[in-house]
């Protein structure tokens, strides 16, 4: 299926028109839109970082989200034009893509006529702490593929039905294994290989809920447990203050601190450590 621009936008650009606003009262400053012939479908690479508006996903992986856009800005007085204002065909919405800070702002249901009538409401949105009722921060992992740098793997957005278990992918409040993030990061190659068995194991929709296939979720939980159990164990003896030197990274930690040591795992580096605590401690 051919990906096209909205008709009213196409006609506006075909006529060589520009948005009219007071640049001196704006955050975006002076910009010039492209002509219709200059607009084409491009891919912006967005880094997997947390931002002021969204929590992160795949942050421990080396790679980028590939976001298809029709970039509309040709020149900008103050900023690089890429992603400054665009049409995102995947979500059928106008928006802005800040690739470096992993922020994608969209305006669902907003027409080009509305933008022409009040440009700064939309052009300045990415500088506003509150997007108002029309703006929305997009979670990229829900809509765009994540391409890893060192492998050919692509983590696609979840489909409506799990391709492995043939059951619906749902949003629900569930609690991930408390070591899941660390074990994935420390055993990335094994996790990527094992993902074939649980491709929809869970991505956040908000701070409490995951989009997931329930069978994939349980399969990854088991993988985390099995991976922890199979890791070699190194003994370490604490000093009188309860401080241990990690046999893996050689950093010191208190074995009584659950933020540093949990389920025999040093949370800094992922080394499995058997702390030989003094009798009666």
DSSP letter at 161 equals B
Both 19 and 104 in one domain: the answer is yes
Is the pLDDT at 1 greater than 50? The verdict is no
Does 151 reside within a domain? no
Looking up tokens 């010191």 gives: 252
Does 281 reside within a domain? no
Both 210 and 187 in one domain: the answer is yes
Averaged pLDDT score across all residues of the chain: 90
**pTM of the prediction?**
0.86
Both 130 and 165 in one domain: the answer is no
Both 12 and 109 in one domain: the answer is yes
The answer for residues whose C-beta is within 8 angstroms of residue 40's C-beta and 6 or more apart is 70
Does 150 reside within a domain? no
Is the pLDDT at 111 greater than 60? The verdict is yes
Which of 3, 167, 170 has the alpha carbon at shortest distance from 92? 3
Both 21 and 116 in one domain: the answer is yes
Both 24 and 121 in one domain: the answer is yes
Distance CA 139, CA 54 (A): 7
Is the pLDDT at 39 greater than 50? The verdict is yes
Confidence of residue 169 (pLDDT cuts 50, 70, 90): very high
Domain of residue 175: give its range: 158-230
Confidence of residue 208 (pLDDT cuts 50, 70, 90): confident
Beta carbons of 83 and 72 less than 8 angstroms apart: no
Mean pLDDT (whole number) for 72-89: 95
Q: Hey, how many other C-beta atoms are within 10 angstroms of the C-beta on 160?
A: 7
Does 69 reside within a domain? yes
Both 126 and 198 in one domain: the answer is no
Distance CA 39, CA 36 (A): 5
CA 247, chain centre distance (Å): 33
Both 80 and 21 in one domain: the answer is yes
Both 120 and 106 in one domain: the answer is yes
> CA dihedral defined by 24, 25, 26, 29, rounded to 10 degrees?
0
> CA dihedral defined by 164, 206, 109, 20, rounded to 10 degrees?
-130
Does 149 reside within a domain? no
Which of 193, 213, 230 corresponds to the end of one domain?
Answer: 230
CA 164, chain centre distance (Å): 23
In this predicted structure, what is the pLDDT of residue 115?
96
Distance CA 124, CA 279 (A): 63
In this predicted structure, what is the pLDDT of residue 2?
53
């Amino acid at each position: 299926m051919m990906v096209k621009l909205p008709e009213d936008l196409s006609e506006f650009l075909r006529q060589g028109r520009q948005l009219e606003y007071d640049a001196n009262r704006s955050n975006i400053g002076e910009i010039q839109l492209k002509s219709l012939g200059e607009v084409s479908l491009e891919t912006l690479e967005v880094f997997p970082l947390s931002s002021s508006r969204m929590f992160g996903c795949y942050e421990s992986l080396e790679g980028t989200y590939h976001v298809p856009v029709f970039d509309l800005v040709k020149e900008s007085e103050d900023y690089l034009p890429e992603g400054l204002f665009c049409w995102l065909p995947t979500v059928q919405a106008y928006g802005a893509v800040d690739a470096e800070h992993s922020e994608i702002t969209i305006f669902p249901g907003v027409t080009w006529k509305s933008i022409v009538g009040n440009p700064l409401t939309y052009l300045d949105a990415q500088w506003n702490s509150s997007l108002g009722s029309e703006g929305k921060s997009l979670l990229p992992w829900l809509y765009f593929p994540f391409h890893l740098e060192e492998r050919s793997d692509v983590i696609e957005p979840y489909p409506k039905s799990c391709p492995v278990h043939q059951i619906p992918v749902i949003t629900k409040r569930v609690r991930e294994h408390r070591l899941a993030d660390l074990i994935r990061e420390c055993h990335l190659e094994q996790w990527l290989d094992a993902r074939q068995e649980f491709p929809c194991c869970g991505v956040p929709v908000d701070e409490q809920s995951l989009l997931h296939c329930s069978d994939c979720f349980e399969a990854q939980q088991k993988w985390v447990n099995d991976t922890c159990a199979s890791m070699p164990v190194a003994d370490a003896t604490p000093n009188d203050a309860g401080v241990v030197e990690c046999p893996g990274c050689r950093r010191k930690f208190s074995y009584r601190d659950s933020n540093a040591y949990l389920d025999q795992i040093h949370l800094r580096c992922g080394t499995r450590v058997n702390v030989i605590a003094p009798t009666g401690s």
